[in-house]
Each structure stands twice: as structure tokens, then as C-alpha cells.
Structure 1
Amino acid sequence: MSLPRPTLTRSVRTAAALGVVALVAAGCTSNTPEASNDTSSTAAPVGDNAKPGEKVTIGFSGPAADHGWLAAINNSAQAEAKKYTDVDFRVAEGTNDASLQISQIETFINDKVDAIVLLPTDGAALTEVATKATQAGIIVVNVDREFSSPFAARTTVLGDNYGMGVSAGTRACKVIADKKITNPVIAEIAGIDALPLTQDRSKGFAAALKACNQTVDNRVAAEFTVASGESVAANLLQAAPKIDVIWNHDDDQGVGVMAAFDNANRKEFAFIGGAGSANAMRWIKEGKMDATVIYPPTQAADGVRLARLLAQDKGMADLVQVAVPRRIVLDAPVVTKENVDKYLPLGFES
């Protein structure tokens, strides 16, 4: 999760910049022509990116809110835009139809918006229209599902699916070590297997387990829904009379997974979730779940913030580099009972 940097950092940088300005001013007392001009190479840029700037129009096209995490994506984007009086935010209807989303982007192009923040239904399918927007001089910020061409977006904001698996696997290794479990049985409840994001999560999980000489013993795949989570978890429990650790890729389908656990009265394992729902965090506080791994629903909010900076020709204040990076991958932190209170306000409702 991308969290705000301490304000002290900015204060120190501002003080340092003022010191540079003072030195330049002192140098300007010289009578030589060279000393009276050209301070651009020594003066550091100073400013507050949150202060209102030039009015910019940002179009947003996101997914249909048929899943808790997807609803949180849309809500976080709109909440972020409301923070800025210099942003005219135009929201297209959420959709899972690539053709409809293409027409939405065409409308934004015709309206000559300054920037578009886009979580594509299908990255490949939206690449052509996103490239068209870029060629029209519109800043495109790609969120979560990447386009198939580097020319389609100015910058891309991503969650870390492979890193999510690594975080879950690392937590599983810690549970095994802390409990001194010998010959542990590890299970995995994946999402839709055909999706690259599911494949990446599984690869990361396997890699982390390999680091502590473990492997997945039982693996099933659901469909990111409550009903599918309950069904496959029930089958898993019947097939495996003993389980020590279970990682479920998605906290929305985890509602069904937890129902299957309750129906079977199975509680002997450490249950690790994924995505960071409020349900999962409440279960952690209640002791019904060991941990969940964040897949940030703030990606679109970060996209809106970056689109505003780019449209106003600003950089990121906490970076030395002047320009906004072309690719930003957010962290996949593990939420446990030790830090759940910090993350609970950021949890999305399933």
C-alpha cells in the first residue's frame, strides 16, 4: 500500500532549498557577469503539489463494481479527485464490456480532456484507443491491467501480483517455523487460473515456499466469487483431512471460503487471505484468520493523483527525479494482528 511520506522530509528539503537560494543570492553580489545569471543548475525546485494549480480535466473509466475490490477501485478514484479544487473529474459508467469502454475513451478524446485514468477491461483490447488518446496529446494513466504497447500510456500504476504471492508464501514459512511444524501440509485456493494475475500469484507463492524448502500439497482454483470460493474450499477440505496452512488468493471469494470452513468445522490451519478486505481484517482481529496480503485498491486513486501532476507539469515531490516515473508497482504488505489496526481503515467491504 502506498502510504504518505512523513512531512518532515519535505520540511527538510524545503530548508535545504532555501539554503541554496541564500547561497545563490550571496553569489549575485559579485560584479562579474557570470555570477549575476544562470542559477538554474543550482536551485532545487520547491513547492507543494497539493496546492491548487491550473484547472485540469480528468476522465476516468473503470470496471463494473461487481466485486468488492473493483468497487473500491472506483470509489477510491472518485474520493481522491474530490480532494482537489483544480480537477474537473468526469466518470464514465463502470463496465466489463471492452467495446463500451473503447467508446468511452473515444468520448474523452472528442471532449479534449487533459488526462485519462483507465483500468481497462482488457489491456490488449484497449491498447489501440489508449494509443490514439496519447497521440492526441492526452495524458493516459494505465491502472492494474497493462496495455500491450509502451506507447499507449504515459505511466502505469500496478499492484504486485507476483509479490503478493511472495508475501503470502513468506508468511506461510514464518507460521511453519514459529509453530515448529514438521512435514506441513500447505493448500492454495487460487482465483481464475486462465488469468496472468492468478498465475503470477501462484508463481510467487511457490517461489517463497521453495526458499523454506516447502511446496504446495493441495491446490484448487475458484472464480473470484463467494459461491465459487465456498464450493472449491468444501471440496478441498474433503480431499485433505489435514491442512496446516491455506492461502486464498482473494478476500471476496474468501467469504465463501470461510463459510466452507465453518460448515466443516475445520479450524486447525493458519488461514492467509489476499487483497485486504475489511472482512478479512476483522477476522484477523477476531483470531479467525492469520493474515491477509494487500493488493491495493488505491491504484486508481494513485492514478488520479499522478494524472493531475502530469497535466500540471509537476513531478513527485519526494523524488529527486523531476519527472513522474513511467511505471509504479505498489507494495504487497502482510496484515497481521500486530498491524491490523493500521490497515483496517483502508480495507474494502466485500
Structure 2
Amino acid sequence: MSQHSRDLSRRRLLLGGAALGAGTFLTACTSNEAQPTQAQTKDVAAGGNAAPGEKVVIGFSAPAADHGWIAAITNNAKAQAATYTDVEFKSVEAGADAAAQRAALSTLIAQKPQVIVLLPHDGKELNAFGLEAMAAGIPVVNLDRAFPDARAYRTQIKGDNYGMGVAAAAYIIAQMKARGVSSPVIGEIPGIDSLELTQERSKGFADTLNAAGFKVQRRVPAEFTADTGQRAASQLLQALPKLDALWNHDDDQGIGVLAAANQAGRKEFIMVGGAGSKKAMGDIQTDNTPLKATVTYSPSMASSAISLARLIGQNKGMADLVELQVPKELVLASETITKENASKYLKFGF
């Protein structure tokens, strides 16, 4: 399958969840149902930078909202824009792949927005568009999937992918030491392997495990969907008759991972998820599956991207900083959610 085809949906709209015996099918609800999760927005207080100012037209594009995390990205962006009376929000369809998104964005440039907020299908393939927009005098806020050329964006905001791997490994290391397991068998199920963000996550995981004298015994990529997560987990579990710990990069694909584990009758390992969906947090709280923790990659970054785009369009800085301009890059920390603190994070889940 081509990268474009695989990247059509970082995770599909899922109708499935837990596995139910042989011939399993996915039936439980995922993070993206008919009713969208309440958007993660920042209250706009009176005065300061939040006070109404010059009107800013913000163009926006992200891959189709056909799964929980991407749906939350678009939902958050729209909702945050609506909190400002001086923001006009113009969204264009991303299309099926990077080429289609590039064509749609060309029509957006012709509308001359003050700023563009863009989550690209693929940062490398859309880098040329970022350069074009910047050259046309339209600042670009690059969201999540990084452009390789710093000249292609005015500001970049993303999650800490390397830090996700570090956090997942740190939790597993602590659990293995607490259980007295000196040579644990550790598995890993990443998402789309061709994406830089996936590679960064795996590197953070491997580097941290190696520093503790541990390593990944088996790594089987999925594609950020429940069905591919189930297939990858089935392969991994067959290859490892004994498993102590597993890191699955994405909570939507984790639904399929848990389905495969249930079908195989495998409960001897602990599992760490990724991103922070409401379903994953619920499973962690209930504590009746191998999933014991998840590491965050919050779609609230889209809300922040809109706020930053507004400030850039109005030639303002961030009120609490001494600097006159919005920073070039912001990286959100990856936090670890466990049974002990899940209740605090539920409102941020997607």
C-alpha cells in the first residue's frame, strides 16, 4: 500500500472495540462517534491580547475528520476560532492525499487569508506549499506533522513525539523493576512507519529502554486503525509466547490490539497506550484489561494553533512573554495517565 493510501486516514472512523472470542469483530465505541467530543478551548477573558482587535482571516486545513484524534483537531480549531469576535475561520477540504490537499490549499491562497493553520497529510510532501505561502506573505502555523524546512512555517506547534516514547518506556521500566523482572520481553506496535513522528516515538522508546538495559524484542507496525492494530498484535503475540510489556503508539489502534489479546487469551503483560482517548482512560480506570497507562498527545494543540495564528495576524506577542513576537516553535509535553490520575485528564480526552 502506498504512503498516500495509508495516509488517507491516520486512523479511520471506527465502529469497533473489544474482541469477543474466535472470529472476533469490533463492536465497542471508539473516540469518534456521532456526537463529537466537547472541544478543548481556552476561555477568552476580557482585556490584554484577548481583547477584540483587527479582524484576522485564518485559513485551515487538516486531513478528513474520520477518526477520534483528527476529528478533535478540526473540532478544536473551529471551536477556538468561534471564541474570538475578530476571527473569520475558512476551512478547506484536505482531500484524499497530499496532492489533493495541496490543490485545495492553492485555492485558499487565492482567497488571501492573513494566516494559514495547516495539519498536512505529510509534512515533507506539503513543505513546498509552506514555502509558497510564506513567500506570498501569508504566515503558516504548521500543526503536528512537521515541515522539514524552517522557512516553510512561521510557527510550528506539535506534540513531543520523542517524549511520548520516553514516557512510555519510563513507565514500563518502573513497572518491570517494581515486579522484579530483570530481563523483560517487550513488544512495540507503532503507527504508520513512514511518518517522521512514528520514527521519533520509536527512537525515544528505544533510547530510554536501552539506557536501562532493556530492549524491544518485537516491533510490528500498524496504521493507526483498530483493524490494523488487531492484525499487528496478532502477529506480535504469535511471535512472542511470553510477553511482559507492550507499547502501542495510538489509542484508536489500541482497540484492535486489546481485541487480539482478548481473542488469544493473553493477559500476562502490561500495555501502555498513546494519545489519550476517553476510551483508553476509561479502560485504565476500570483496570480489567492489560492497558495500565497511556501517554498524551493532545489534540488541544489545534486550539492553541488558532490562538497563535490570531496573534500573528494581529502582529502581537504572547502576553506573558517578554518577547514581542510569537515563538517559532512550541512542543507540548507528553504526560503519563494512569489509574491514579485518569480522572484529572478525562476532560482532555477525545
TM above 0.5, yes or no, is yes
1:193 aligned residue: 193
2:342 aligned residue: 340
Q: CA distance change for structure 1 residues 275 and 4 in 2, over 3 Å: closer, same or farther? A: same
TM-score, normalised to structure 2, is 0.83
Q: After the TM superposition, which of the residue ranges 50-59 and 96-105 deviates more from structure 2?
A: 96-105
Q: Distance in 2 between matches of 1:336 and 1:96?
A: 36
1:148 aligned residue: 148
Q: Distance in 2 between matches of 1:195 and 1:136?
A: 28
1:124-144: CA deviation from partner (whole Å, max 9, x where unpaired): 332223222222222211111
1:209 aligned residue: 209
**Aligned-pair distance for 1:338?**
1.6
CA contact (8 A) 2:140 2:154 kept: yes
Q: Distance in 1 between matches of 2:238 and 2:145?
A: 35
3-state SS of 2:176 partner: helix
1:113 aligned residue: 113
2:241 aligned residue: 241
Q: Distance in 2 between matches of 1:63 and 1:69?
A: 11
3-state SS of 1:221 partner: coil
1:76-155 paired onto structure 2 within 5 Å:
76-155=76-155
**Aligned-pair distance for 1:322?**
2.1
3-state SS of 2:305 partner: helix
1:66 aligned residue: 66
Letter in 1 for 2:131: T
1:30 aligned residue: none
Q: CA distance change for structure 1 residues 335 and 321 in 2, over 3 Å: closer, same or farther? A: same
Q: CA distance change for structure 1 residues 129 and 232 in 2, over 3 Å: closer, same or farther? A: closer
Q: Are 1:171 and 2:171 matched, yes or no?
A: yes
Q: CA distance change for structure 1 residues 112 and 4 in 2, over 3 Å: closer, same or farther? A: closer
CA contact (8 A) 1:95 1:121 kept: no
2:54 aligned residue: 54
**Aligned-pair distance for 1:311?**
0.7
Q: Distance in 1 between matches of 2:153 and 2:48?
A: 26
CA contact (8 A) 1:187 1:243 kept: yes
Q: Are 1:229 and 2:229 matched, yes or no?
A: yes
**Aligned-pair distance for 1:238?**
2.1
**Aligned-pair distance for 1:315?**
0.9
**Aligned-pair distance for 1:106?**
2.0
2:332 aligned residue: 330
Task: Identify, as 1 or 2, the structure richer in helix.
Answer: 1
Q: CA distance change for structure 1 residues 96 and 316 in 2, over 3 Å: closer, same or farther? A: farther
CA contact (8 A) 2:157 2:301 kept: yes
3-state SS of 1:182 partner: coil
**Aligned-pair distance for 1:320?**
2.2
Q: CA distance change for structure 1 residues 168 and 110 in 2, over 3 Å: closer, same or farther? A: same
CA contact (8 A) 2:41 2:303 kept: no
CA contact (8 A) 2:41 2:80 kept: no
1:8-56: CA deviation from partner (whole Å, max 9, x where unpaired): xx9xxxxxxxxxxxxxxxxxxxxxxxxxxxxxxxxxxxx6222222111
Structure showing greater Rg: 1
TM-score, normalised to structure 1, is 0.83
Q: Distance in 2 between matches of 1:285 and 1:132?
A: 47
Q: CA distance change for structure 1 residues 149 and 84 in 2, over 3 Å: closer, same or farther? A: same
Q: Distance in 2 between matches of 1:62 and 1:193?
A: 20
Q: Distance in 1 between matches of 2:95 and 2:160?
A: 23
CA contact (8 A) 2:92 2:108 kept: no
Letter in 2 for 1:159: G
Q: CA distance change for structure 1 residues 4 and 60 in 2, over 3 Å: closer, same or farther? A: closer
Letter in 1 for 2:57: T
1:314 corresponds, among 297, 308, 316, to: 316
1:295 aligned residue: 297
4+ aligned runs moved over 3 Å, structure 1: none
Q: Distance in 1 between matches of 2:193 and 2:150?
A: 26
**Aligned-pair distance for 1:161?**
1.2
**Aligned-pair distance for 1:90?**
0.8
Q: Distance in 2 between matches of 1:88 and 1:52?
A: 13
Question: How many residues in Structure 1 have an aligned counterpart in Structure 2?
Answer: 309
**Aligned-pair distance for 1:4?**
10
**Aligned-pair distance for 1:159?**
1.3
Letter in 1 for 2:159: G
1:243-299: CA deviation from partner (whole Å, max 9, x where unpaired): 111110111110100111111222121110011111111111111321001112122
Q: Distance in 1 between matches of 2:194 and 2:311?
A: 36
CA contact (8 A) 1:62 1:95 kept: no
Aligned-CA RMSD value: 2.2
